[in-house]
Chains A and B, each alone.
Chain A
Amino acid sequence: MNSPTIFAPPSPVYSSRREFLRRAGSGFGMLALAGLLEHKGLLHSAADAAEAYHNPLAPKPAHFPAKAKSVIWLFMNGGPSQVDTWDYKPELAKRDGQELQGFDKATGFFADQVGPLLKSPFKFRQHGQCGAWVSELFPHMARHVDKMAFLYSCWTDSNNHSPALFKINTGMTRMGFPCLGSWVSYGLGTETQNLPAFVVMYDTLGRGIPKGHSQNWGAGFLPGMYQGTALKPQGAAIDNLSRSPEMTDSQQRDQIDLLAKLNRRNLEQHPDEAELAARIESFELAYRMQMAAPEALDITRETPAVHKLYGLDNSKCTHFAKQCLIARRLVERGVRFVQIYSGGMENQLSWDGHNDIAGNHGGFALETDIPIAGLLADLEARGLLESTLVIWGGEFGRLPVAQKSAKPGRDHNPHAFTVWMAGAGIKGGTLYGRTDEIGHKAVVDRVSVNDLHATILHLLGIDHKRLTYRFNGRDFRLTDVAGFVIQDILA
């Protein structure tokens, strides 16, 4: 059996490659090391270094030609309701107010607040050539349905936020596994060395971060360099990017020059220690990143028209619009994977509409509809949509029955939710899979989370069965022992 890792040829070279992975590393912004070091004459024997080191984040060839170079994952945190957004259920409207006989009350979170079937408070209309039904929540996104492939029949393993978040991010309901973005950075590296390979943005209005916290973008057992870099909502977006205020640029430059000189002298005594050479270069890179990262995040460089397109002028959605625009700037600069969370942590602060589904979803739709539509339009206009995969979805769906409350809400539903994908490699206007007549369970062409992951990796040119990492004696995969590529939505 061939060695399963994407980097490594079979043993015996394997162990030295593993050695390198363990010891070398890189991070956001490392060095195409071997070449660089050789070029700069930093290493006594560049050939040795090339043997010992590959930059783990240097772009790597995929298993097969990729359709997508980058991913933007618009994560509607809290579990948006399929039957109020994309999955039109006239039968549900007809049965509004009826009890759902035999319903398992423990399906959602609040077993003691189960109400009757509840029709969607939103009107639906067909859009585009594909005729996809879209609720009135998303008038702007609705214009783009012909770019989207809808997966109406997704289901997951848990009826609770954090296990479901871990599931959709890492493929496992438990803590401690690498997330999709980390797997992708590990498998493909990144096109830019001056920016993180994998960037996460979460709520900037102080409503919290997704349940399960940074584990949702954690690298698990993969080396830490593959974890998502979460942009901080307050202060400097990335830690330690600006130098001490008491120091000028030239003072710091002098400092780094002397450091390099002393380090090089030390290297002469350890001529074959590639790690030491790599570390010398990491300071140069850090110095450059002080400029590059703020530039990438600076949306004031965009035109007023672009600002308007994303809805930056609309106070309801300015915060999310900024993040969408930053996402575009990042993929434009070669960032591999961007994830944006809409909504914060606790119930009503996210799409988790336990009470007042109309008000809850209405609010979050206003926050996201224009920015996402703007992002799609902008990506398309710049030709970036051809190489960028855009994903919309949450961690699970919501029940067709009401959760009792002064204004009824909906409880968690692991049995059905809708995800759409658009852009690179996606056959636009595809309506895939189906739920039952009331949208309770996925029944036709069911899509597991593993299937979603397999498909996303496929679009990035990765065979999900061959992307593995050995940890504590076992070769792990994002898709564990399951997952099928959903061929029907591929262009």
Chain B
Amino acid sequence: MRRGFAIDFSCRAPLVPKLSLVPKLSLGTRLRPCHPLVSTLATTFLFAGLTWTAPPAENPTGVARPESSKDVAAESMAPADKPVEPDHAARMARGLEIFKTHVRTVLEKRCVKCHGGKSVESEFNLTNREGLLRGGDSGPAILVGNARESLLYKLINHAKEPHMPHNSPKLPDESIKQIALWIDHGAPYDEPLAAAKSKDPRDASAWTQKRVGEDARQFWSFQPLKRSELPAVKNQSWCRTPIDRFILAKLEEAGISPNPGAEKRQLLRRIYFDLVGLPPPPEAVDGFLQDDSPNAYEKIIDRLLASPQYGERWGRHWLDLARFAESHGFEHDYDRPTAYHYRDFVLRAFNDDLPYDTFIKWQLAGDEFEPENNFALLATGFLAAGVHSTQITIKEVERHRYDEMDDMSATVGTAMLGLTIGCARCHDHKFDPIPQADYYRLLSTFTATVRSELEINFEAEQYKKARAAFDRDHAPFVEALNQYEREELPGRMAEWEDRQGSLERDFPWIILDYASFRSEGGATFTKQDDGSLLVSGKAPPFDTYTLTAHTNLATEGITTIRLEALADASLAKGGPGRAANGNFALSDFRVAVAPAHAPDKRVSIQLKNPRATFEQRGLPVAAAVDNDQKSAWAIDPQVGKNHAAIFEMEPPIQSDGPVILTITLQFKNNTGHSIGRPRLAVTTQKGMVDLDGAALFQPVLRILATPRQQRDPEQSAMLSRWYRTIDPGWQKLNQKVQDHLKIAPKPNLVKAMIASEGLPPVRLHTQGDDLLKETHFLRRGDPEQKEGVADQSFLQVLMTGPEQEKQWRMDPPKGWRTSYRRRALANWLTDPVNGAGHLLARVIVNRLWQHHLGRGIVATPSEFGSRGEPPTHPELLDWLAAELIRHDWRLKPVHKLILTSSVYMQSSRNDASKNKIDRENRLVWRRPVQRLEAEVIRDSLLAVSEALDAKMFGPGTLDEASKRRSIYFTVKRSRIMPMMQVFDSPDALAGIGERPTTTIAPQALLLMNNPQVRSYARSFARRISTDGAMSADEVVRTAYKIALGRLPNAEELADATAFVRRQEESYAAAGKPENRGLRRELALADFCQILMCLNEFVYVD
């Protein structure tokens, strides 16, 4: 407002809502404008907090600000007669006076540094009036003319938190008073505050360029792997493996002697639960105890590592990290019925000992590394496993997409690198050297990544072989046909043509040649030589075909139309319908006609007297012309053959010239029941017309009318293509080809959920796009505050070598659908020299250690940053990581190293004196007692009751009564199986590396009262009492051996047999159940249930 007018008008300000505290305005009093603008402004009614945005030219101090979801500023209201106060100008002048003499200094000295100067805290910038009125995160800062109701006043007056100025002394009372007065007088500015003018000119987006210094790499986990010398130890004979030396050295230093070795029986249970998650069967116990060979233990380890149950056990650990689930979460928690393939991939990968670096690469970019390898494609289910809102409003599209990419990055960070990358979303990581900029660069890896369902050809190799064999068999059929076409067909065609007298008589039907054809549902039509259309591609639930054709026949009067539905080998059951059973259901058949010169003048034709080759019961052909879109004509069970229906025109189509016919076929009766190969023909014959009379293709008619010598090659070829469709010899040979084609092998296509780019995303109820074109740097993580496009890179602290991120990038082949960004990420992650590979290796070997020994060398297995615990044995950790890489990243050799160490083979025994020195067993002087996980507890219950169904892989179930291993329970986010949940299985929302182990009463209640558990106990009882001749002692001994891998001692045996006897008597006394055998079974079940509840059953020592 540089027109010699220094006052900013209060009338631009939001007027106060009707507050009881505000003096009532005298409605209707018209004001004399104090400025040319006022006349318009005065008629603009504004609600409190609703900012009226002045045109730019009139906005002297305005700063542009993006709309924010937190923004309360909003739309103006309909005009209303709201006058400006009569003393407006005078008040503003007074306000300005106060501002200049008092307020400006206070604001500049005490407020502006954080609110518009160095920073803009809470998005509140008071350097000019517009910013003041707009306010910040907490809404408008003032109500013009009403200090008492103004937020700013409340905060500086300490009537409301946060007290301002923040973390510094309260303003002097006089200043507060003056500010209040100023607000009461309209809070005018003469010009923006000084700080705004002299504002630091630094680039607002400087943070996006932030570099991480060399010193940051000094932190232990960012360092390259160190291969240390094996430490010297005194008690060398204790050491079986190099691992033992690392551990023993520290124990000796601390003056702790390692625990003695565990008993053989304990060891066996330990490795069974550790490697396959099941108790050793009694035979295995006997076998091992009797095997005195020096490598008896090693043999069992090898056997268990090679058993398929190893993948079921260790795959579960990885699925915890991958937040694997089979539903979307959020509103509806829709199922992901094809997500289990990722679970199966993980299980197979562990069983096959897929090198860990490949395991990682494929999960991030299997589609980019090996697009032809199903196994690699399925691995990308890792990225797809996170939650996805089933209902995204237009306002949430961006935020949700950033959330989704955050989930991918965060899971990569915690599961693979043990780093909390997600912390850098809103600001530089507070503890680790991960600037916010690195976060967005890494995030951009996933810009185009979407969750998609892909048809995967399982058994592709087998299919290829079978197909080749078929092609070999098929060739002679094709050759016979070709030979016929070369040698016989031309002669026969000539003969046929010579034979023709009246075409009209011999060919009552003229097959229409379509000018256009369209499927509303997006199905694909392919014109066939015989004038039919072959339908393929999309098969929508309901469809409408619209076909048009030109014809001259109307000059003779078209009396009847014929619709054929032809069989075809490409259709299910040979057609003629597209439904899975070969049927169709034509709900509506319509014909309209228009003169060729005036296609818009279309009139409908009445159809009557329909007749058909066959009518399914209840679905007659008449239903196609009854104006009911739901009733229909169908032909089941007469599938796999040609059908036809004819409809008489009422009246016949008569025209002086050519006409356009528009034929509509509707299929709205049954899902997917459209016709697979329709053909239309018309006739000019009057009276009764033959339903399957001979037909001639319309273009052929024209060709036949041309003398043979005058036909061009194209016409001849067309005639030949047509003729053969009616030549009996050709038909016969062709039928043989088609028949043989029916037995062609089909690929085993199965839908699987994967993550990739350029594929159709799984789309739920989203109101906007599924993905964003670019990933931006977001100030404070807010999609409303974008600062440039983030180009892909990785964590600076884990990059060395030339050209930084470029060394892992590669351009995709020309025309390839993905960006290769995930491939670059995977290359960086698995590069132990210049990338993050050394950390990747450390994190995974630590996880192996953690699961085998109860606590990681780094006790925080997913936190390898500065907030995590430092490694207790850094040299050992590096040594194990190096061993992993040396073994070609295979995990099984590392398992074996750990399991055969004296460290692992120690007893679990607690010891008060060692406890005093190392209460938490950081130095690993014992192998602690461990509670089994939820899955292992349930699987063990099933195993001992001999009810376990060992079937592997495939879709899971939500049936609690299922007898399969717990890993095959469907992980539905809103319905985590109660038995899993109560024993601390994860909720699959964020990856976790370590489950809590709680001891809660609901667990006890479950084991005592749950019907499933009770049924396992009864099944266990039946298992041990099959032979009624067995004594109570024998039965109890057997039960102990099955459940605990040992025999009861005398006391236990006495207690147990006494208990069984007592229970049996008590059932007998009650007379329930009547059957003595059943009473015994119940008594035994009561005892078996005790075994299942024992600490010894759920804790492995």
Contact = CB atoms under 8 A, between A and B. Distances in A.
Interface of A: 15-16, 19, 21-30, 45, 48, 91, 95, 98-104, 106-107, 109, 111, 155, 157-163, 173-176, 211-215, 218, 220-221, 223-225, 239-244, 246-248, 250-252, 254-256, 258-259, 261-263, 265-267, 270-273, 275-276, 278-280, 282-283, 285-287, 289-290, 415, 434, 436-438, 440-446, 448, 470-474, 484-485, 487-488
Contacts of A176: 387, 987, 989-990
B86 interface: no
A212 B998 contact: no
17 contacts: A25-B999, A26-B1001, A27-B1000, A161-B391, A162-B330, A175-B973, A175-B989, A211-B331, A224-B987, A255-B1086, A265-B1051, A266-B1094, A271-B910, A272-B912, A282-B999, A440-B74, A473-B867
Given A259-B1090, A276-B929, A441-B49, A289 B1095 contact: no
Interface of B: 17-19, 47-50, 69-70, 72, 74-78, 138-140, 143, 149, 151, 154, 160-162, 329-333, 387, 389, 391-396, 399, 403, 410, 414, 419-420, 422-423, 431-432, 767, 859-860, 862-863, 865, 867-869, 908-910, 912, 915, 919-920, 929, 931, 973-974, 978, 981-982, 984, 987, 989-990, 992, 994, 996-1006, 1008-1011, 1014, 1051-1052, 1055-1056, 1059, 1062-1063, 1066-1067, 1070, 1072-1073, 1082, 1086, 1089-1090, 1093-1096, 1098-1099, 1101
Contacts of A278: 999
A174 B910 contact: no
Contact of A239 (B140, B978, B1066): B978
Given A91-B18, A282-B1001, A285-B1001, A211 B143 contact: no
A215 B973 contact: yes
A109 B393 contact: yes
B912 A240 contact: no
Contacts of A471: 990
Contacts of B154: 445
Given A100-B75, A106-B395, 15 more contacts: A15-B920, A22-B996, A23-B997, A99-B78, A175-B973, A220-B987, A240-B1008, A254-B1066, A261-B1055, A262-B1090, A415-B72, A472-B422, A472-B862, A472-B863, A474-B420
Nearest to B1099: A276
Given A19-B920, A474-B420, A444 B69 contact: no
Nearest to B1015: A244
A139 to B, nearest CB: 26
Given A443-B140, A473-B868, A484-B161, A159 B1000 contact: no
Contacts of B1086: 247, 251, 255
A353 to B, nearest CB: 18
A471 to B, nearest CB: 8
A161 B331 contact: yes
Contacts of B392: 160
Q: Which 8 A-B pairs have the closest CB atoms?
A: A25-B998, A27-B1000, A102-B75, A176-B989, A213-B974, A443-B49, A286-B1004, A473-B420
Of B143, B432, B997, B1001, the most chain A CB neighbours within 10 A belong to: B1001
Nearest to B931: A275
Contacts of A98: 78
Contact of B50 (A259, A436, A446, A470): A436
A174 B403 contact: yes
A93 to B, nearest CB: 13
Contact of B999 (A30, A107, A259, A484): A30
B830 to A, nearest CB: 22
Contact of B996 (A25, A239, A263): A25
A437 B47 contact: yes
Contacts of A285: 1001, 1004
B1093 A259 contact: yes
A401 B696 CA distance: 65
A161 B931 CA distance: 39
A20 to B, nearest CB: 11
Which secondary structure dominates where chain B touches chain A?
A: loop
Nearest to B981: A224
Contact of A250 (B149, B330, B920, B1066): B1066
Nearest to B909: A270
A26 B1014 CA distance: 24
A275 B999 contact: yes
Nearest to B996: A223
A23 B75 contact: no
A240 B996 contact: no
Contacts of A255: 1008, 1059, 1063, 1086, 1089-1090
A158 B394 CA distance: 11
A96 B1066 CA distance: 77
Given A28-B1001, A175-B387, A272-B910, A441 B74 contact: yes
Contact of B998 (A27, A161, A280, A289): A27
B735 to A, nearest CB: 55
B1005 A273 contact: no
Given A474-B867, A484-B160, A240 B1010 contact: yes
A272 B1095 contact: no
Contact of B1001 (A21, A27, A448, A474): A27
A484 B1051 CA distance: 63
Contact of A160 (B391, B419, B908): B391
Nearest to B399: A173
A352 to B, nearest CB: 12
A265 B399 CA distance: 57
B393 A263 contact: no
Contacts of A158: 393, 395-396
Contacts of B419: 473
Contacts of B1051: 265
Of B162, B1009, B1082, B1101, the most chain A CB neighbours within 10 A belong to: B1009
A445 B149 CA distance: 8
A283 B329 CA distance: 34
A218 B989 CA distance: 11
Given A158-B396, A265-B1052, A443-B49, A215 B974 contact: yes
A331 B767 CA distance: 43
A109 B392 CA distance: 9
A185 to B, nearest CB: 12
A248 B1065 CA distance: 13
A28 B1002 contact: yes
B149 A262 contact: no
Contacts of A485: 161
A136 to B, nearest CB: 22
B996 A21 contact: yes
B47 A438 contact: yes
Of A23, A159, A175, A220, the most chain B CB neighbours within 10 A belong to: A175
Contacts of B912: 45, 272
B493 to A, nearest CB: 61
A473 B863 CA distance: 6
A98 B1062 CA distance: 83
A248 B981 CA distance: 28
Given A241-B1005, A276-B1095, A443-B49, A248 B1066 contact: yes
A91 B27 CA distance: 15
B138 A446 contact: yes
A104 B396 CA distance: 14
Contact of A223 (B74, B162, B410, B998): B998
A66 B768 CA distance: 46
B868 A239 contact: no
A254 B1063 contact: yes
A147 B333 CA distance: 39
A217 to B, nearest CB: 12
A243 B1009 contact: yes
B49 A263 contact: no
A473 B865 contact: yes
B704 to A, nearest CB: 57
B1008 A286 contact: yes
Nearest to B864: A473
A163 B396 contact: yes
